[in-house]
């Protein structure tokens, strides 16, 4: 596995070293989404195999070659997946090689693959957790109106995610996860404006949730006011 990862890093590094400086395009953004995790137990152990929902969110960066369509993206995500005794909470660092097919100035389809690193924060108990885990990502998605990316990703670990110790023996298990993600990439010329607009949008969403919890009436003007930052983010 180390040889595969080393070859991947060398290939990516050579690709970007060979590019002229002006061909590189770096974009920063925010990425978040849902983890849908299923436990795969070794040896036919009949443990909890139900799908469980978690989440991930954090900053991301993308480097692309506009003409060729190749690029690399990476993210630093706070991630939660699994549930009950096999719940994992930690930092996830996916690094993907990405190929994009443009379908016009406002739409594109991308394919992505690469390693994923997960660092589990939870303390050890009768479940022996792997503090550092390596997996593989395979994904596909769309790029919309230059800023938004929506994708689906399948992630499987290269080795056990944890070991469950019982009275007889130890049983290994793997967290196999589907991820549904949305990412917003900031504009190069107005990164601070985009960040402020996103913060306002989040604050407005929290305000609407507050009104819902209090069973307050929500009218059209509330929704129009709350969604106003979207026009700036996508159409300004």
* Domain range for 203: 190-236
137 shares a domain with 216: no
203 shares a domain with 225: yes
Q: What are the pLDDT digits (tens) for 147-200?
A: 889 999 999 888 777 776 664 566 677 788 899 999 988 876 666 667 777 777
> Does this model's pTM top 0.75?
no
7 pLDDT higher than 60: no
234 shares a domain with 178: no
% of residues, the chain, pLDDT over 70: 61
231 shares a domain with 136: no
Q: What is the CATH number of the domain that holds 175?
A: 2.40.160.20
Q: What is the CA radius of gyration of the chain?
A: 20
114 shares a domain with 34: yes
Question: What's the Cα-to-Cα distance from 102 to each of 5, 54, 70, 152, 172, rounded to whole Å?
Answer: 28, 32, 11, 18, 43
164 shares a domain with 59: yes
Q: How far apart are CA 170 and CA 35, in angstroms?
A: 26
- Mean pLDDT over residues 102-116, rounded? 85
Q: Is 192 exposed, middle or buried (0-12, 13-18, 19+ CB in 10 A)?
A: exposed
207 shares a domain with 122: no
pLDDT of residue 216: 66
The per-residue pLDDT of the chain, averaged, comes to 75
3-state secondary structure of 218: coil
21 pLDDT higher than 60: no
pLDDT of residue 163: 72
202 shares a domain with 138: no
| Contact call for residues 94 and 114 (beta carbons, < 8 A) | yes
Looking at the 3D structure of the chain, how many domains does it have?
2
> For residue 82, what are the contacts with CB-CB under 8 A and spacing of at least 6?
37, 39, 52, 54, 88, 175
Q: How far apart are CA 218 and CA 154, in angstroms?
A: 38
204 shares a domain with 177: no
Q: How far apart are CA 204 and CA 202, in angstroms?
A: 5
210 shares a domain with 170: no
**Residue 8 binned pLDDT confidence (cut-offs 50, 70, 90):** very low
């Amino acid at each position: 596995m180390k040889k595969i990862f080393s070859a991947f890093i060398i290939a990516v590094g050579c690709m970007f070293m060979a590019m002229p400086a002006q061909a590189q395009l770096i974009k920063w953004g925010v990425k978040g989404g849902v983890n849908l995790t299923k436990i795969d137990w070794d040896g036919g152990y009949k443990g909890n195999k139900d799908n469980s929902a978690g989440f991930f969110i954090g900053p991301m960066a993308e480097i692309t070659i506009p003409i060729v369509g190749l690029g690399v993206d990476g993210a630093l995500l706070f991630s939660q997946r699994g549930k009950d005794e096999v719940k994992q909470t930690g930092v996830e660092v996916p690094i993907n090689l990405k190929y994009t097919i443009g379908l016009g100035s406002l739409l594109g389809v991308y394919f992505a693959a690469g390693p994923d690193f997960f660092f589990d924060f939870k303390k050890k108990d009768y479940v022996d957790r792997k503090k550092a885990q390596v997996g593989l990502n395979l994904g596909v998605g769309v790029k919309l109106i230059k800023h938004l990316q929506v994708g689906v990703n399948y992630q499987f670990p290269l080795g056990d995610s944890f070991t469950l110790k019982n009275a007889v023996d130890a049983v290994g298990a793997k967290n196999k996860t589907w991820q549904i993600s949305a990412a917003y990439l900031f504009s190069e010329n107005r990164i601070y404006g985009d960040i402020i607009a996103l913060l306002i949008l989040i604050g407005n969403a929290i305000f609407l949730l507050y009104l819902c919890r209090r069973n307050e009436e929500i009218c059209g003007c509330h929704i129009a006011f709350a969604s106003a930052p979207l026009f700036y983010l996508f159409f300004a």
